[in-house]
């Protein structure tokens, strides 16, 4: 590690953790070195629920013992290999959260390694729970947000000017409104499909750039199967083309298939700009009472040698301020 880390102040510990339940849908990542998201949350002390298929429950309980977290973090979803990809698991998560009275729930893929805050154009590692709490607080200012969450770290850099985007895709690290009546549909592109369903129903989505998730690539070696686990079997051989075509058939006139990044890729018409529903503030929200800047108790600290001149200068300026 070469950068500084932002940590919550001791006087405001409540802000460092999410208020909504955090679920990880996971398959074939019960080995410590492959359990990226679970390791990240365990390291930062974020409680979570591992939604796993019945035949892998014991392996994931062993993972919990290795991580030093309670074994009851593992929840048996009651089925295995239904052939719907992640959709059936996502529906189980939403139903479980709704049945337990939660207004929203987090759904994370199992290959998220780290969280960043974009600070003065530089991505700095930050606490996972703190990033989630910021997203929750901002989302809860509005009455009509169906999905919100974090952009991928790879798509956010010093040229990124906007702290967030509205009415676009939200993948892999998603805060889901339990009031949504739509169901996740598989086996392919269930996250894109749900975003389109939500937007078509008149909800809004929010994608944060100011906080991002560092997700390990699902494929390597020219798109071949990722041996680290997950649902990658669905995308072997011509899976990329089948994935894109299935979404095109489901959303004719909205989704087309093009070749991008040397592979078939679905493309949403007008780059999502067709969806223009405005965010609706809660009537009971006193905007004037909000802090002009709320750092949530974060401070910038060196945790190792800084190799970048830009980051070194940023740390020095922060200390002077």
Burial (CB < 10 A; 0-12, 13-18, 19+), residue 101, is exposed
Of 169, 159, 254, the C-alpha closest to 206 is: 169
**For the chain, give me the number of helices (H) and strands (E)?**
7, 14
Neighbours of 62 (CB within 10 A): 15
Report d(CA 209, CA 151) in Å as an integer.
Answer: 6
pLDDT in tens, the chain (321 residues): 233 344 444 444 445 799 999 999 999 999 999 999 999 999 999 999 999 999 999 999 999 999 999 999 999 999 987 766 799 999 999 999 999 999 999 999 999 999 999 999 999 999 999 999 999 999 999 999 999 999 999 999 999 999 999 999 999 999 999 999 999 998 889 999 999 999 999 999 999 999 999 998 755 544 444 444 555 565 555 667 888 898 999 999 999 988 877 788 888 988 898 899 999 999 999 999 998 889 998 989 888 888 888 888 888 888 777
* Rounded Cα gap, residues 87 and 27, in angstroms: 13
pLDDT of 256: 92
Answering whether pTM is above 0.85, one says yes
- For 116, the token pair is 């960043």
3-class SS at 169? coil
Q: Which CATH number fits domain 16-320: 3.90.550.10, 3.20.20.70, 3.40.50.300, 3.40.50.10610?
A: 3.90.550.10
């Amino acid at each position: 590690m070469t950068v500084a880390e932002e940590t919550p102040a001791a006087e405001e510990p409540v802000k460092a953790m999410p208020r909504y339940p955090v679920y990880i849908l996971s398959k074939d990542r019960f080995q410590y070195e492959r359990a990226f998201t679970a390791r990240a949350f365990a390291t930062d002390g974020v409680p979570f629920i591992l939604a796993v298929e019945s035949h892998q429950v014991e392996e994931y309980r062993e993972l919990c013992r290795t991580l030093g977290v309670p074994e009851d973090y593992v929840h048996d979803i009651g089925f295995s290999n239904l052939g719907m990809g992640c959709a059936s698991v996502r529906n189980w998560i939403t139903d479980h959260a709704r049945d337990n009275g939660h207004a929203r729930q987090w759904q994370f893929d199992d290959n998220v390694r780290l969280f960043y805050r974009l600070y003065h154009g530089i991505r700095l590692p930050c606490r996972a729970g703190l990033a989630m709490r910021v997203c929750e607080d901002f989302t809860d200012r509005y009455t009509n947000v169906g999905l919100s969450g974090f952009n991928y770290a790879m798509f956010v850099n010093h040229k990124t000017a906007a702290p967030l985007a509205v009415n676009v895709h939200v993948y892999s690290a998603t805060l889901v409104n339990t009031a949504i009546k739509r169901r996740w549909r598989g086996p392919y592109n269930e996250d894109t499909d749900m975003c389109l369903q939500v937007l078509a129903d008149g909800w809004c989505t929010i994608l944060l750039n100011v906080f991002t998730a560092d997700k390990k690539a699902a494929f390597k070696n020219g798109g071949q199967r990722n041996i680290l686990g997950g649902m990658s079997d669905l995308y072997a051989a011509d899976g990329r083309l089948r994935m894109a075509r299935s979404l095109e058939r489901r959303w004719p006139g909205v989704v087309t298939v093009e070749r991008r990044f040397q592979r078939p890729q679905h493309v949403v018409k007008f780059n999502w700009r067709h969806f223009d529903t405005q965010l609706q503030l809660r009537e009971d929200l006193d905007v004037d009472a909000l802090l002009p800047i709320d750092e949530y108790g974060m401070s910038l600290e060196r945790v190792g040698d800084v190799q970048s001149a830009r980051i070194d200068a940023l740390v020095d300026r922060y200390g002077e301020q």
